């Protein structure tokens, strides 16, 4: 079997893998990215968070992405029938980016990996990692190419950014069940048939509570006159919708209050599809000579659009630590990687939990919420979940629960 020798092998060319490869290329490491699919390819996860812009800026990727003319994202509107609660990233506690983008991922992911490739990183599309042998210092990874031929990549380090493919969690038995219930999402892209042209500010996404605390809808407008729409939950009607999304999503959307208020009709421009049981965890985020990033580690829930930002954050963090180790420095992977990533994940875990148990609904749909409180929550929703000066980060669960109790008392 042919052998390719590299410093680092990156599995997967999604945002996590592209960012890791971009950083390591900048440090002059010889990197190979192996990607199972042909790009552009569809993947869900279209609303970004301002926090990820810092990493895109550090890697000088913003100007490349800007050329695509993606829709700017400046905030989030939560709606529940007539009630609305709006967060603007310009109004937040933590200093940082006040905007980001709403992106068609096929295009966004291709821009990232093409830029990385143009900078000199080798990328093998339609090549799939099928097995690993990590018993030696040099890691051996078996890859199948588009013609069904196999080769081995020998590398000093492997970064698993295979997203929902979860290559190393599967091959090394690292998968762990999530503490969240199994939920289902049914989604598509629609043409904008607005009821009123001024009814909607495309610089914001909408998260709409459909009929109770448990089911919700996203609307993510793009810059080309289309919108991503998806419904999430675990009730019977969403499960039924997921059995045959092509036939069932349209009638489902036609009876959702906010959808009816905004759109005059449903016209899909992409066949509706569904995904179930997307929340997943991992027993270990790293091991001798390998590290997991992005969705290959833990994925919580789509409600706060944190997935791509965490893929970018962890891809960058992993790459920095890999570079350090390859330079001969000692890396404390537990402290500098797992505990760091877990801190941010835990903040979002609380926000996801309190979204589904109704605590956040009490806060978001209260008659009045102080601006200072909104600013602090806004920073969390912008992805600044490592800023411990923010009480809504440092004592996330207690602060939210106490606030909801106070609101309920009045
Ligand atoms: C319903 C839903 C809605 C979501 N909405 C949002 C949102 O609005 N905003 C947001 O930020 N996140 C959202 N997410 C999460 C988001 O989809 C992911 O967190 C994000 O795509 C993870 O990026 P990644 O780089 O880790 O992996 P991916 O983007 O999934 O990329 C991984 C790549 O690895 C490749 N791969 C897989 N197996 C192999 C293999 N064996 N060999 C080689 N390559 C392989 C795949 O082909 C893929 O291209 C949503 C998730 C769901 C389920």
Helices (H), 172-256: 236-243, 245-254
Nearest atom in ligand 1 to 314's CA: 26
Which protein residue's CA is at the shortest distance from atom 50 of ligand 1? 45
Query: What's the CA gap between 167 and 146, in Å, rounded?
Result: 18
Please tell me whether residues 392 and 330 are part of one structural domain.
no
The model's pTM: 0.98
In a domain, 91, yes or no: no
In a domain, 350, yes or no: no
* Residue after which a domain boundary falls, among 294, 323, 344: 344
Query: What's the CA gap between 392 and 376, in Å, rounded?
Result: 6
Q: pLDDT at position 213, please?
A: 64
Please tell me whether residues 38 and 133 are part of one structural domain.
yes
* Residue after which a domain boundary falls, among 249, 275, 301: 275
Please tell me whether residues 372 and 317 are part of one structural domain.
no
Nearest atom in ligand 1 to 185's CA: 1
Please tell me whether residues 158 and 33 are part of one structural domain.
yes
Please tell me whether residues 24 and 162 are part of one structural domain.
yes
Query: Contacts from 179-183 at CB under 8 Å and sequence distance 24+?
Result: 179/281, 179/349, 180/279, 180/300, 180/301, 180/352, 180/353, 180/356, 181/234, 181/279, 181/356, 182/234, 182/276, 182/277, 182/279, 183/232, 183/233, 183/234, 183/276, 183/277, 183/278, 183/279, 183/301
Q: pLDDT at position 410, please?
A: 80
In a domain, 13, yes or no: yes
Please tell me whether residues 162 and 197 are part of one structural domain.
no
Per-residue confidence of the chain (410 residues) as pLDDT tens digits? 999 999 999 999 999 999 999 999 999 999 999 999 999 999 999 999 999 999 999 999 999 999 999 999 999 999 998 899 999 999 999 999 999 999 999 999 999 999 999 999 999 999 999 999 999 999 999 999 999 999 999 999 999 999 999 999 999 999 999 989 899 999 999 999 999 877 778 999 999 999 776 899 999 999 999 999 999 999 888 999 999 999 999 999 999 999 999 999 999 999 999 999 999 999 999 999 999 999 999 999 999 999 999 999 999 999 999 999 999 999 999 999 999 999 999 999 999 999 999 999 999 999 989 999 999 999 999 999 999 999 999 999 999 999 999 999 88
Please tell me whether residues 36 and 120 are part of one structural domain.
yes
Q: How many domains, the chain? A: 3
The CA 216 to ligand 1 mean position distance, Å, reads 21
Which protein residue's CA is at the shortest distance from atom 14 of ligand 1? 45
Please tell me whether residues 48 and 146 are part of one structural domain.
yes
CATH number of the domain residue 52 falls in: 3.50.50.60
Q: Is 313 in the pocket of ligand 1 (CB under 6 A)?
A: no
3, β-bridge pairs:
152
CATH number of the domain residue 233 falls in: 3.30.9.100
Please tell me whether residues 261 and 297 are part of one structural domain.
no
In a domain, 338, yes or no: yes
Tokens 């330079």 correspond to what residue? Answer: 327
Q: Is 295 in the pocket of ligand 1 (CB under 6 A)?
A: yes
* Residue after which a domain boundary falls, among 252, 275, 298: 275
In a domain, 89, yes or no: no
Please tell me whether residues 141 and 220 are part of one structural domain.
no
In a domain, 188, yes or no: yes
Please tell me whether residues 138 and 197 are part of one structural domain.
no
Residues 6+ apart with CB under 8 A from 203: 71, 72, 73, 74, 75
Which protein residue's CA is at the shortest distance from atom 13 of ligand 1? 45
Q: Is 11 in the pocket of ligand 1 (CB under 6 A)?
A: yes
Please tell me whether residues 43 and 114 are part of one structural domain.
yes
The CA 221 to ligand 1 mean position distance, Å, reads 20
Nearest atom in ligand 1 to 296's CA: 26
In a domain, 349, yes or no: no
The CA 362 to ligand 1 mean position distance, Å, reads 31
Q: pLDDT at position 329, please?
A: 98
Q: pLDDT at position 212, please?
A: 72
In a domain, 227, yes or no: yes
Q: 297 lies in which domain range?
A: 3-70+101-177+279-344
Query: What's the CA gap between 235 and 197, in Å, rounded?
Result: 33
Q: pLDDT at position 17, please?
A: 98
């Amino acid at each position: 079997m042919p052998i390719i020798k590299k410093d680092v092998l990156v599995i997967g060319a999604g945002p996590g893998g592209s960012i890791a490869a971009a950083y390591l290329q900048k440090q002059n490491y010889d990197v190979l990215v192996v990607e199972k699919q042909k790009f552009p390819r569809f993947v869900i996860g279209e609303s970004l968070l301002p926090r990820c812009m810092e990493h895109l800026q550090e890697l000088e990727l913003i100007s490349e992405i800007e050329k695509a003319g993606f829709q700017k994202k400046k905030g989030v509107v939560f709606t529940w029938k007539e009630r609305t609660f709006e967060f603007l990233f310009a109004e937040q506690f933590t200093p940082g980016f006040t905007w980001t983008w709403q992106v068609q991922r096929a295009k966004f992911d291709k821009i990232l990996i093409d830029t990385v490739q143009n900078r000199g990183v080798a990328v093998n599309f339609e090549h799939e990692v099928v097995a690993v042998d990590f018993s030696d210092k040099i890691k051996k990874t078996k890859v199948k190419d588009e013609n069904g031929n196999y080769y081995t990549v020998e590398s000093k380090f492997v970064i698993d950014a295979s997203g929902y493919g979860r290559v190393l969690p599967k091959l090394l038995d690292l998968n762990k069940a999530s503490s969240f219930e199994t939920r289902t999402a049914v989604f598509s892209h629609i043409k904008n048939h607005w009821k009123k042209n001024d009814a909607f500010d495309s610089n914001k996404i909408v998260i709409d509570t459909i009929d109770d605390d448990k089911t919700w809808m996203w609307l993510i407008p793009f810059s080309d006159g289309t919108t991503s729409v998806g419904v999430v939950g675990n009730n019977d009607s969403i499960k039924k919708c997921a059995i045959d999304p092509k036939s069932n999503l349209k009638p489902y959307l036609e009876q959702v209050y906010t959808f009816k208020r905004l759109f005059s009709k449903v016209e899909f421009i992409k066949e509706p599809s569904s995904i179930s049981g997307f929340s997943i965890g991992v027993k270990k985020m790293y091991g001798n000579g390998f590290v997991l990033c992005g969705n290959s580690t833990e994925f919580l829930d789509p409600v706060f659009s944190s997935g791509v930002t965490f893929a970018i954050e962890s891809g960058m963090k992993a790459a920095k630590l890999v570079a350090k180790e390859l330079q001969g420095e000692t890396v404390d992977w537990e402290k500098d990687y797992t505990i760091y990533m877990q801190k941010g994940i835990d903040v979002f875990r609380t926000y996801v939990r309190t979204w589904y148990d109704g605590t956040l609904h009490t806060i978001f749909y209260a008659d009045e919420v102080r601006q200072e409180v909104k600013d602090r929550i806004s920073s969390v929703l912008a992805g600044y979940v490592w800023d411990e000066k923010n009480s809504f980060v440092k004592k996330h669960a207690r602060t939210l629960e106490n606030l909801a109790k106070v609101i309920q008392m009045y």
